[in-house]
Structures are given as C-alpha cells and as structure tokens.
Structure 1
Amino acid sequence: MTTAAADQTTTIAIGAHFKGELTFEHDVHIQGGFEGRIVSGGEVVIAQGAACKASIMAVSLRIEGEVEGDITARDLVQLGPEARMTGDISAPRLLVADGASFLGHCRIGPESASGDRVPRAANPPARPVPAPAPVVRSRGAEIETRTVEVARARLAEAQAKLARISGKDPAAA
C-alpha cells in the first residue's frame, strides 16, 4: 500500500466503539466496534475481533470479524475464514472462505447493486398480490417482515448516496 493510499484510510482502532452514521469517500478499517450505518466510496474492512452492528454500503467489503446488518457493495463482498455475518448481502460478486458463517439472504450478480431488484411484469396482475409472508430466522427466533417496496426504497436511497460519494453517475450503474 502506498503512503497516499494509507493516508486515505480511516481506522476505528481496537478498543474504540462508535455509534451513529459514518460517511467516507475512501477506505475504512473497523478494528473495534461500531453500531449504526456506514457509507464508503472505497473498501470497508471489518477486522478479525471487530464487531459491527450496522447497515453498510461501499464499493467493496471485506469481513473478517462479526457483522450484524444488511450490506450492499458495488463490486465485491468477501467473507474471511473467521467472518460471522448475520443479515442480507447484495453485491455483484461474493467470495466466501472456508470457515465463514453467514445467516441471511444474498442477491449476487451484475444487477444486484442496481435498483432493479425484481423484474417487472409486462402486464400487472388483475388482482392484488398478497403481502409477502414473514421471514423467520432460526437464530433467536427473530421474525422480520419486509416488503419489496420498502427494500427497493432503502436500496435506491443507499445507491444514490453511494453514487454521490464515489462520484459515479447512478444512471450508469
């Protein structure tokens, strides 16, 4: 790593714990703890031993520690051998190392980081579509209900913010 690249990396050190919303134009390394929301125009690294309870949006993510929350990457999500991930992943590419733990849903492929999460039908159905059934997660008997509309709105908001930070045109994504 060059000195210029090292100067563009923010680190939350071991023993430090933050809560809130963090927005960066460059790389972020979490070695301590964080709770809230992270938006980065670069790579986010959750180091081994770190704990993060947050929604994370970045160009790429490398998880070696623990993450609880939904993550969206414009390029790649990597789960290292010690990674413990609970939440949903949306990215064009996903790399999972042997030993990693993942509990959640993932949407992987070229369209996953765009707003077109669900293809639209040419002719809408004649009758109303019932709301999706609750998703029951086995760990801790957590019950979470999400509708497609809420998920699309959250993703569109995150993509717009990420596009502003990274300087990329969201229409080109």
Structure 2
Amino acid sequence: MFTNKEEKKVEAEITSSSNTIGKGTVLYGDIETHGNLRIEGKVEGNIKTKSKIVLGKSSVVIGNINAQNAEIEGSVTGKVNVSDNLILKHTSVIKGDIITQRLIVESGSQFNGGCKMGGGQPTRKGLEKTTEVHNKQSFKEPEKARTV
C-alpha cells in the first residue's frame, strides 16, 4: 500500500503533467485529466481538468469545460465552469453559459450566454432567468419623446 507521503508524490506528478492536442487534430469524445491541457485543434466532447486549460487561437471546442483555471483564445460552444480564474482573450468566442469566481475579458472577445461569478453554483434555471431579464432590459424599446 501507498503511504501518505507516496500518495502525495504521485498526486503531485499527475497534477503537474501537461497534455497537448495539436493544430489539425480532431478528437471526438470526453477528456478527463488531472494535469494541464492545451488545445490548438478541435474537440467534440466534454473536457474536465483539475488544473488549467488553455485554448489557443485555432482551437474549437464543442462541449462543456470544467477546470480550475482557463485561458481562452479560440471558440467554445458549451458551458464553461471554472472554479478560479477565467481569461477571455480578444480572439475568444463563447456560445454558452459561464460560471467562474473571477473573469477577465479582453476587448474584442465575444460572449453570448449567461454569466455567474463568485458565490455558489447557480442552477440552470437561475442562469436562464438572469439571461431573460438581461435580454428584456437590453432590447427594451425606447420611450417616445413627449412635446410640452
């Protein structure tokens, strides 16, 4: 059996591992890793990492992302759930809901969906309600001017 010291060493090795999906690579299926993940290609499936995920400019992800930290330069169609920091670079395009503690958005990034920051995890119904209220406020017809 492993001792606590050996288990911690194995866990540290797993967490510090790095994985790369290169440009031109297409992967169908879910990915789960304890280490860092960099994607330059296309992934159709859900992604889960206990570390950091970096999506390069050429990346396309169709599926949900769960990570501790994330930096996105490419395209994501799905929910992005990041427990710490999420950085949306100026080339990023997100089509889906975002849940994160801290969000950094560069000018030029595109985002279409609901967003929940800080506190506890919202329900899907809560995100839909937030988006509905936002949409009603954003597209409200201007009042007609009155003459005196």
Same structural fold, with TM-score higher than 0.5 when normalized by the shorter chain: yes
Output aligned runs, 1:1-173, within 5 Å.
8-109=17-118, 111=119, 114-115=120-121, 117=122
Q: How many residues align?
A: 114
Residues 78-134 of structure 1 show CA distances to partners (whole Å, capped at 9, x for unaligned) of: 10010011100000101000110000010011x1xx44x37xxxxxxxxxxxxx7x9
Whichever residue aligns with residue 103 of structure 1, its letter is N
- 3-state secondary structure, aligned to 1:85: strand
Alpha-carbon distance in structure 2 between the residues aligned to 1:52 and 1:73 = 15
Once the two structures are TM-superposed, the CA of residue 76 in structure 1 deviates from its matched residue by 1.0
Larger radius of gyration between Structure 1 and Structure 2: 2
Identity %: 27
Q: Any gaps of 5 or more consecutive residues in structure 1?
A: 119-131, 139-173
Deviation sequence 1:129-161 (CA, Å, 0-9, x none): xxx7x96xx9xxxxxxxxxxxxxxxxxxxxxxx
Aligned amino acid, residue 10 of structure 1: N
Q: Tell me how far apart the structure 2 counterparts of residues 26 and 81 of structure 1 sit (CA, whole Å).
A: 25
Q: CA RMSD in A?
A: 2.2
Give the structure-1-normalised TM-score: 0.61
The list of structure 1 runs, each at least 4 consecutive aligned residues, that deviate by more than 6 angstroms after superposition, is none
Whole-angstrom distance in 1 between the partners of 2:59 and 2:30: 17
- Equivalent position amino acid for 1:31 in 2: E
